[in-house]
């Protein structure tokens, strides 16, 4: 495999691994927890490194994941004192832990492959140089690690799919059925922490947030089904990964930053054109509803006066501007639409309901 | 170095004085305005704003080629406001919740900024050197001119905050009432949010985009513990902010290779921890002590109540009772002897020798007052 293919492969695997737990974070309204965790896992890495003096050790992942869970517990502990609100608790805990990590690195870990820029940026471009041989196949280290994380995430979600789904959409029912919300919560947080550590090397702390939250939020606009949302999230993440790589190659810029940028670009596209929930679809639905509402109002208006002496006056198109407070242009356009829809017929300047129109008015009034 | 030497250095050493003044300015501004952010539950908005400012700094530099503070701060402010607007648009026009929107704005803007920064760094042009200090901040790079700009913007923001104090107070605590008075609440909201952006932006060079948000949250969270009054809280938050800013900047400029941001944040976090534990009334130590006191009070009253009931049954307030009886009535929860001693100190019971205790006249009267409504202790 060439380096370019390998990097894209890693990008896709990272994106997929992040996008899966991201879906649950978005649905459970805990997106900012990923921000906190992705920062504090650094402290876990640093502390474990000080104990083991080895940056390759698999224990690093464990130590970092543990720190992620510690972060969540600290936030909840602080929140539990009721002295600060939850958002402030998050905003207090992770900068402090992250600061400790950055200071420890700059003070005691000089010359080690651990510096605060790498922490934030990550550098995928170098990933193919660091290789492992697994079962006789020579693979980049990051690819092996992230594939492991991805498989772990898939297994976790597959095994506890029902539980996660229930606890996410109906926490009360889940608790009634004997599913501990605490266990589900911490299980998910552990998975988020492990994913953050794994992705850390490749994309850096803050971009973990981009890969977790942005594709999942875009997916949330595309579907109402959890299975589909997971699928869309992975797909959008992978697309950001590949397109981010090419953007970075074109600009000769940081790959992770470009991937995050692409998640944003894809999000904006989805935000605008998503069927049903996109801004464009929303605007069109609003416009259609405006016309439909006006048309119904017109039908009711005519039906109301039908057969009364005032009808000759009320049925005139110009009269609509006074009685219904419609602009003349709007009234004219509306009448044309209503004619096309078979709600009214027009003779000269007078309007008459069709049978269809009468039915529409009666139906609406009977609600 | 002792305190006096420090002070002397502070007044005479150019770098140190500049750093301290700059850090104090950013601390005061972000502390005071952070008070409103915290009360309005926008603590994490600061996080998103400061991350979102990064591409603004880089683009401002790319467009002008200048690294003067007003240009970079201007760029940062525009990007910060754009980030906030994006956040509002996302939550307003889709079903995406605020937390996800914060995460999106924060990470995408920041990622975009990093992309631009690395793009600049790989071009052979030395002028961009130093832009990366905006990540973690480097107070030592502050020049006197930078501090002047910070002071003008920060002072302006604080002045506006004071002018619209009453309106902002209303906005934070009872928005609907404000609207019913005919105040332009949306405009005030925009103004206050803009002031918060200013507070964040002036701190970026010293503390960095990654950790600047902590300067909005921490001083306000610490100040909240000491008082229930908004004015005092803002004042305290400003003082705490200045303390963390100056303390952190000093420590980092003496130690080698230390970015300022992390040190400032740790000083601020230290102030928060002290406040959480020691603040009167709300503090953890204080409330634990109060709970302990209440529990003891309750135990003493229980014993008095038991004595009163026994006295009623014997129809004789002076009738002496065994401690063991009282202990049994107390379900052996302990502390009965201690409570009796406390009651004796208050002259409500007396020991009739040999582990026998009885109520005194005043004890009987007080117990009647306390319990005659049939209430249980």
Name the residue among B97, B115, B218 with its Cβ closest to that of A258.
Answer: B115
Chain A residues 56-115 with a CB less than 8 Å from chain B: 81, 83-85, 87-88, 90-92, 95-96, 98-100, 102-103, 106-107, 110
- Res A122: pLDDT: 67
Residue environment code for A71-99, b if the CB has 16+ CB neighbours within 10 A, otherwise e? bbebbeebbeeebbbbbbbbbbbbbbbbb
Question: Tokens 């100190």 — which residue?
Answer: B345
Token digits of residue A54: 């080895």
Q: Is A256:B114 a contact under the CB 8 Å cutoff?
A: yes
pLDDT confidence of residue B57: 93
Residue indicated by tokens 């940026």:
A121
Specify the length of chain A in residues: 367
Which of B115, B282, B286 best probes binding to A when mutated, by most A CB atoms within 10 angstroms?
B115
State how far the alpha carbon of B77 is from the alpha carbons of B71, B138, B202, in Å: 10, 19, 9
The closest of B239, B269, B266 to B24, measured between CA atoms, is B239
pLDDT digits (tens), chain B, 377 positions: 567 777 777 777 777 888 889 999 999 999 999 999 999 988 899 999 999 999 999 999 999 988 888 899 999 999 999 999 999 999 999 999 999 999 999 999 999 998 998 888 876 666 666 787 888 888 888 888 889 999 999 999 999 999 999 999 999 999 999 999 999 999 999 999 999 999 999 998 888 888 898 999 999 999 999 999 999 999 999 999 999 999 998 888 777 778 888 999 999 999 999 999 999 888 899 989 999 999 888 888 888 888 888 888 887 777 788 877 888 887 766 678 888 888 888 888 888 777 788 888 888 888 888 777 554 44
> In angstroms, what separates the C-alpha of A187 from chain B's closest C-alpha?
20
* H or E element at residue A134: strand A131-134
d(CA A37, CA A49): 18
The nearest alpha carbon in chain B to A214 belongs to: B104
Whole-angstrom distance, CA of residue B40 vs CA of residue A316: 54
Q: What is the DSSP letter of A53?
A: -
Using CA atoms, how far apart are residues B104 and B87, in angstroms rounded to an integer? 8
Find residue B351's DSSP bridge partners: B357
Using a CB-CB cut-off of 8 Å, the residues of chain B touching A267 are 104, 108
Half-sphere exposure of A172 (CA within 13 A, CB side): 0
Question: Any CB–CB contact under 8 A between B167 and chain A?
Answer: no
Alpha-carbon gap: A278 to the closest alpha carbon of chain B (Å): 8
Contacts of A156 (CB under 8 A, 6+ apart): A187, A191
- Provide the β-strand partners of residue A316: A350
What is the CA B10 to chain-centroid distance, rounded? 28
Report chain B residues whose CB lies below 8 A from the CB of A207.
107, 110-111, 114
Query: Which residues on B lie below 8 Å from A221 (Cβ)?
Result: 94-96
d(CA A175, CA A188): 16
For residue B217, list chain A residues with Cβ-Cβ distance below 8 A.
Answer: 88, 91-92, 95
| Strand pairing category for B349-351 and B356-359 | antiparallel
Q: What are the chain A neighbours of B44 within 8 Å (beta carbons)?
A: 32, 87, 90-91
CB contacts < 8 A (A, B): 209
- Name which of A149, A81, A44 is nearest B288 in CA terms: A81
Residues 8-67 of A with CB under 8 A from B: 25-26, 29-32, 34-35
Backbone angles phi, psi at B133, to 5 degrees: -65, -15
Nearest CA-CA distance, residue A72 and chain B, Å? 16
**Using CA atoms, how far apart are residues B309 and B244, in angstroms rounded to an integer?**
59
Lowest mean pLDDT among A82-96, A231-245, A329-343, B27-41: A329-343
Nearest to A206 among B110, B214, B257 (CB): B110
Contact list, A217 vs chain B (CB under 8 Å): 96, 100-101, 103-104
pTM tops 0.90: no
3-state secondary structure of A351: strand
Determine whether the interchain pair B104/A247 forms a contact, defined as Cβ–Cβ distance below 8 Å: no
């Amino acid at each position: 495999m060439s380096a370019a293919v390998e990097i894209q492969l890693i990008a896709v695997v990272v994106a997929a691994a992040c996008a899966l737990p991201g879906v649950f974070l978005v649905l459970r309204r805990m997106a900012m927890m990923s921000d906190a965790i992705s920062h504090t896992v650094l402290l876990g890495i640093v502390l474990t490194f000080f104990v083991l003096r080895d940056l390759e050790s698999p224990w690093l992942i464990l130590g970092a994941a543990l720190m992620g869970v510690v972060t969540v517990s600290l936030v909840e502990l602080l929140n539990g004192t009721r002295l600060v609100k939850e958002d402030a608790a998050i905003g207090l805990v992770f900068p402090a832990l992250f600061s400790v990590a950055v200071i420890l690195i700059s003070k005691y870990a000089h010359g080690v492959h651990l510096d605060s820029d790498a922490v934030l940026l990550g550098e995928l471009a170098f990933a193919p140089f660091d290789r492992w041989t697994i079962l006789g196949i020579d693979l980049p280290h990051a690819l092996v690690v992230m594939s492991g994380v991805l498989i772990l995430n898939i297994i976790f979600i597959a095994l506890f799919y029902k539980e996660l789904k229930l606890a996410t959409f109906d926490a009360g029912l889940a608790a009634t059925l004997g599913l501990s919300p605490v266990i589900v919560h911490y299980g998910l947080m552990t998975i988020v922490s492990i994913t953050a550590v794994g992705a850390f090397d490749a994309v850096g702390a803050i971009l973990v947030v981009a890969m977790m939250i942005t594709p999942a939020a875009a997916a949330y606009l595309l579907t109402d089904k959890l299975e589909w949302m997971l699928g869309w999230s992975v797909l959008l993440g992978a697309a950001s990964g590949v397109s981010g790589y090419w953007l970075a190659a074109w600009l000769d810029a940081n790959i992770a930053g470009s991937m995050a940028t692409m998640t944003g670009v894809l999000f904006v596209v989805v935000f605008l054109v998503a069927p049903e929930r996109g801004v464009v679809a929303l605007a069109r639905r609003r416009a259609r509803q405006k016309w439909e509402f006006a048309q119904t109002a017109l039908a009711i208006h005519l039906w109301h006066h039908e057969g009364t002496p005032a009808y000759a006056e009320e049925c005139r198109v110009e009269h609509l501007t006074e009685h219904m407070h419609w602009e003349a242009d709007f009234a004219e356009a509306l009448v044309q639409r209503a004619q096309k829809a078979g709600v009214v017929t027009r003779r000269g300047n007078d309007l008459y309901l069709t049978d269809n129109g009468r039915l529409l008015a009666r139906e609406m009034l009977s609600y | 170095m002792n305190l006096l030497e420090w002070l002397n250095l502070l007044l005479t050493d150019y770098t140190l004085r500049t750093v301290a003044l700059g850090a104090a300015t950013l601390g005061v501004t972000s502390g005071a305005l952070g008070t409103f952010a915290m009360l309005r539950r926008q603590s994490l908005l600061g996080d998103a704003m400061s991350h979102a400012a990064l591409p603004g700094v880089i683009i401002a530099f790319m467009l002008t080629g200048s690294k003067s503070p007003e240009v970079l701060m201007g760029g940062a402010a525009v990007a910060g406001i754009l980030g906030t607007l994006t956040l509002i648009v996302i939550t307003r026009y889709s079903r995406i919740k605020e937390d996800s929107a914060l995460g999106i704005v924060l990470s995408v803007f920041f990622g975009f900024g990093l992309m631009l920064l690395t793009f600049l760094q790989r071009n052979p042009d030395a002028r961009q050197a130093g832009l990366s200090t905006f990540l973690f901040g480097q107070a030592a790079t502050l020049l006197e001119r930078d501090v002047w700009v910070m002071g003008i913007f920060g002072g302006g923001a604080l002045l506006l905050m004071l002018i619209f104090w009453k309106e902002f107070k209303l906005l934070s605590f009872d928005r609907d009432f404000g609207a019913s008075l005919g105040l332009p609440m949306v405009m005030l909201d925009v103004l206050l949010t803009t002031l918060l952006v200013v507070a964040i932006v002036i701190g970026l060079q010293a503390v960095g985009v990654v950790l600047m948000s902590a300067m909005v949250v921490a001083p306000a969270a610490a100040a909240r513990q000491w008082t229930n009054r908004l004015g005092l809280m803002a004042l305290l938050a400003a003082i705490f902010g200045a303390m963390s800013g100056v303390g952190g900047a000093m420590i980092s400029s003496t130690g080698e290779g230390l970015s300022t941001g992390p040190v400032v944040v740790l000083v601020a976090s230290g102030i928060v921890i002290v406040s959480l534990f020691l603040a009167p009334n709300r503090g953890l130590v204080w409330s634990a002590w109060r709970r302990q006191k209440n529990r003891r009070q309750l135990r003493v009253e229980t014993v008095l109540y038991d004595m009163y009931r026994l006295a009623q049954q014997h129809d004789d307030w002076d009738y002496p009772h065994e401690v063991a009886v009282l202990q049994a009535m107390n379900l052996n929860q302990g502390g009965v002897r201690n409570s009796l001693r406390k009651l004796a100190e208050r002259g409500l019971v007396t020991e009739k020798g040999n582990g026998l205790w009885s109520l005194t006249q005043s004890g009987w009267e007080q117990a009647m007052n306390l319990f005659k409504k049939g209430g249980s202790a």
